[in-house]
């Protein structure tokens, strides 16, 4: 992952917006008449598809491989969380948008932390 400010801010904003859109779409489709498990799986799949579709303009600016996984992961979680919440109770649209955006923020932070841990400590080769 790139550490330039343009990339960091772009990654953050893109995932926030993808979460917001996935949460809003899940809210618009699911009602309390749905079974919670069905809503979870259906909105998880729909969120991943939305993440993939919304990834295209993001990938052009931020890089294809660097943006695809966070976008789809964010869409998956935002759709799943908001879909399950919508199946449990009526909720206002602004709450669904907030939950979707929060999922986007949480997922990009998780991905950045996981990437940092997986990279580990690297050393420069000693001149010999």
**Domain residue spans in the chain?**
19-112
CA distance 43 to 98: 17
pTM of this structure: 0.85
Per-residue burial over 3-13, b = 16 or more CB atoms within 10 Å of its CB, e = otherwise: eeeebeebbbe
For residue 128, what pLDDT band results from cuts at 50, 70 and 90? low
| Cα angle: 86, vertex 90, 91; to 5 degrees | 80
pLDDT digits (tens, 9 = 90+) for 70-127: 999 999 999 999 999 999 999 999 999 999 999 999 999 999 899 888 887 777 777 6
């Amino acid at each position: 992952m790139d550490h330039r400010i343009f990339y960091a801010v772009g990654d953050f904003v893109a995932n926030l917006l993808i979460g917001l859109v996935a949460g809003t779409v899940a809210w618009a489709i699911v009602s309390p008449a749905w079974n919670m498990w069905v809503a979870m799986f259906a909105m998880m799949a729909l969120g991943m598809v939305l993440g993939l579709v919304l990834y295209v303009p993001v990938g052009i600016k931020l890089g294809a491989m660097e943006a695809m996984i966070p976008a789809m992961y964010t869409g998956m979680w935002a759709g799943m969380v908001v879909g399950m919440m919508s199946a449990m109770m009526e909720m206002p649209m602004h709450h669904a948008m907030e939950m979707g955006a929060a999922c986007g923020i949480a997922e990009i932070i998780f991905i950045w932390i996981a990437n940092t841990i997986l990279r580990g400590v690297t050393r420069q080769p000693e001149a010999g």
